[in-house]
Amino acid sequence: MEINVAITPKGKLHSVSLWKHKEGKQLESNQFLKQFNEKKKPTDAFKVGEDIIAVEGAEKASQAVATSAKKGWLMFREVFVKKKDKKDMEEYDDDREHAEEGEHGHEDEEHHDE
């Protein structure tokens, strides 16, 4: 299996695409691949059944894509991102996580008011 892991200039995971594989076409579907688009942190699990929804009937291949995407991203960050920039990215990741938690908390409050 050959995959492409696209990284933004700031070191964020942008997208994942498949170049060559022996699995069915569903593995190339936007529905599966868009799970990786700019929303994961390198500390996320990237695990089928946890934060990745597998292609039905291709669970092992789905996990292989997720694992490869995470490894590619981590290698990029380790090799090409300067230490200062890594710290900035970690702070950005933390800020984004807290913002998402706040959004979910706010939604819950609105739901209780209804």
Alpha carbon of residue 113 to chain centroid = 33
Q: Is 69 exposed, middle or buried (0-12, 13-18, 19+ CB in 10 A)?
A: buried
Q: How confident is the model over 45-73, as pLDDT tens digits? A: 899 999 999 999 999 999 999 999 999 98
Q: Is 1 helix (H, G, I), strand (E, B) or coil?
A: coil
- Domain locations in the chain as residue ranges: 2-81, 82-114
| Contact of 12 with 29, CB cutoff 8 Å | no
Q: What is the pLDDT of residues 8-54, one digit of tens each?
A: 877 788 899 988 767 777 788 889 999 988 666 878 889 999 999 99
Spatial separation of the C-alpha atoms in residues 112 and 29, rounded to whole Å:
37
Report the C-alpha gap between 48 and 68 in whole angstroms: 13
For the whole model, what pTM was predicted? 0.69
